[in-house]
Amino acid sequence: MRPPALRRALAPALRLTRGHAGCSNPHHHHPPTPSSSSASSAAPAHTHHSHSHSHTPTHAHVHSSAAAQTPSALPHRTPGAALNVPTTAGGPHESAAYCASLVQRLDPDAWLTSYFWPKRERDWWFAIRAFNALEERNRRSSLRLQHMNKLLLRDTLLPRAPGGHTRASLKLYSPLTDNLQLELHQVTTTVSQPAIAAMRLQFWRDALSAIYSDNKPVPQHPVAIALAEMRKARPVMKYYLSQMIEVRAKTLSLPPASPSLEEYITTYSPLAGALLQGPLPILLAPSDAGTSHIAHTLSHVANLLAVTTLLRGMPQLAAKRQLAIPSDVLASHGVVEEQVFRAGAEASGLKDAVFQIATRGMDELITARTDLKSDNGKVVPAQTMPLFLAAVPAERYLQRLEAADFDVFSQELQKADWKLAPKIWWTYQTGKL
């Protein structure tokens, strides 16, 4: 038996673990949305002290409050399954609820860290994360449908366009193949080809222009409304929100593999940087003396996130016979793409290539920690700590990757990390990256 004081201190982390580590026990309930009173009491945002008994709901209270909810409000999931949270929860008149449910479904790592944001600021942060989640979903849908177009033309008896060129055939038959894809893969988004993807990106460009204008009506989209409310309350720069659009617009037409690891980081880290430095004014006034130092440290965390995104996406790309490892890393370890597609992790030199990339990510984390040494390793100002929690899932992935002998295809890496929620909680409590 744990001492009562220890049980009370660990209660918030245990609740997060039960809700997000793939638990299928019918007696365990997912935490309510962060806008509820239990979430705000589970993780006060402005203190680093252990939670008192008055702030920790009892076991009976959790079950009684859960019983009052409808089954759809407290969804369950099996290990490895996506969170069954409808993205349409809320609407133009409930923009905060819409953004929260969207993040919970599409960005579970960010959802876990949300419990440690101040209640009011959390809604504005959700607006930025929901904006990012929407754009990422659009980009992935566009790439997936483009790939399926090519497969359907290659593996079916559709006649080729005059001259037999694949590009001309895609243009000729894209409406037909798009309909087939909707049936086969149940793609619910409307992004079916690059032209439509470009239209949606332009919609958000126009939406940002309206949000940051004093005389243009804001589109009646819940994310746009939430961003407009955030802009009225905090001086979040339009530049960072635009970065989320422009980086995706640029990378949509790029090949999966960059020429070099440095070029990959240069191309993709601005997206992670926008997600970290963009919300900084929500927690810290731009005039604060610590702003520039915190922003510099966050830039190293952004590089870490870019590297882990590259590694985590490799299995999905390999399933489509695409390899995202930068060309210079492949060449230095003698990795042959076709061998990777056939042999997976056993391909010659692949684990060494993955090790090199993972090492670069850890170097960025070490550099970020070095930046904080002057304050005994703690994040100062302390109110910016929620932003640094994004490094915890990335570090946990690299640690699990090392335990799997740098096998990015390991099934262990596809499982939910039950240690992640307690680790996020502990990192917040210590105030150290």
Q: Is the pLDDT of residue 46 over 80?
A: no
Q: What is the pLDDT of residues 210-221, one digit of tens each?
A: 999 989 999 999
Q: How far apart are the first and last CA of the chain?
A: 30
Shared-domain flag, residues 332 and 410: yes
Q: Mean of the per-residue pLDDT values for the chain?
A: 76
In a domain, 109, yes or no: yes
Shared-domain flag, residues 312 and 167: no
Shared-domain flag, residues 6 and 99: no
The residue with greater pLDDT, 2 or 317, is 317
- Residue 15's pLDDT band, with cuts at 50, 70 and 90, is low
378 bridge partner residues: 432
Tell me which of 194, 222, 253 is where a domain ends.
Answer: 253
pTM of the model: 0.71
- What per-residue confidence (pLDDT) applies to 199? 81
Whole-angstrom Cα distance, residue 43 to residue 171? 52
Shared-domain flag, residues 225 and 286: no
Shared-domain flag, residues 165 and 141: yes
- What per-residue confidence (pLDDT) applies to 16? 55
Shared-domain flag, residues 116 and 237: yes
Shared-domain flag, residues 284 and 398: yes
- Type of residue numbered 194: P
The residue with greater pLDDT, 392 or 41, is 392
Give the domain range for residue 408: 257-433
In a domain, 80, yes or no: no
- Residue 324's pLDDT band, with cuts at 50, 70 and 90, is very high
- What per-residue confidence (pLDDT) applies to 232? 93
- What per-residue confidence (pLDDT) applies to 375? 87
Shared-domain flag, residues 340 and 399: yes
What's the CATH number where 402 sits? 1.10.600.10
Whole-angstrom Cα distance, residue 110 to residue 117? 11
In a domain, 70, yes or no: no
Tokens of 259: 């020429």
What's the Cα-to-Cα distance from 271 to each of 113, 135, 157, 241, 425, rounded to whole Å? 19, 11, 41, 9, 25
Shared-domain flag, residues 58 and 116: no
Number of domains in the chain: 3
In a domain, 38, yes or no: yes
Shared-domain flag, residues 147 and 181: yes
- What per-residue confidence (pLDDT) applies to 374? 86
The helix (H) or strand (E) run that includes residue 419 is: none
Lowest mean pLDDT, pick from 87-96, 216-225, 332-341: 87-96
CA torsion 358→115→121→207, rounded to 10°? Answer: 60
In a domain, 312, yes or no: yes
Lowest mean pLDDT, pick from 49-58, 175-184, 322-331, 386-395: 175-184
In a domain, 287, yes or no: yes
The residue with greater pLDDT, 56 or 15, is 15
Tell me which of 221, 253, 285 is where a domain ends.
Answer: 253
- What per-residue confidence (pLDDT) applies to 67? 40
Please give the full DSSP string across 337-377, using - where no structure is assigned: HHHHHHHGGGSTTHHHHHHHHHHHHHHHHHHHHHHTGGGTT
Shared-domain flag, residues 276 and 403: yes
Shared-domain flag, residues 284 and 235: no
- What per-residue confidence (pLDDT) applies to 92? 61
Rg from Cα positions in the chain: 23
- What per-residue confidence (pLDDT) applies to 23? 45
- What per-residue confidence (pLDDT) applies to 64? 41
Tell me which of 18, 46, 62 is where a domain ends.
Answer: 62
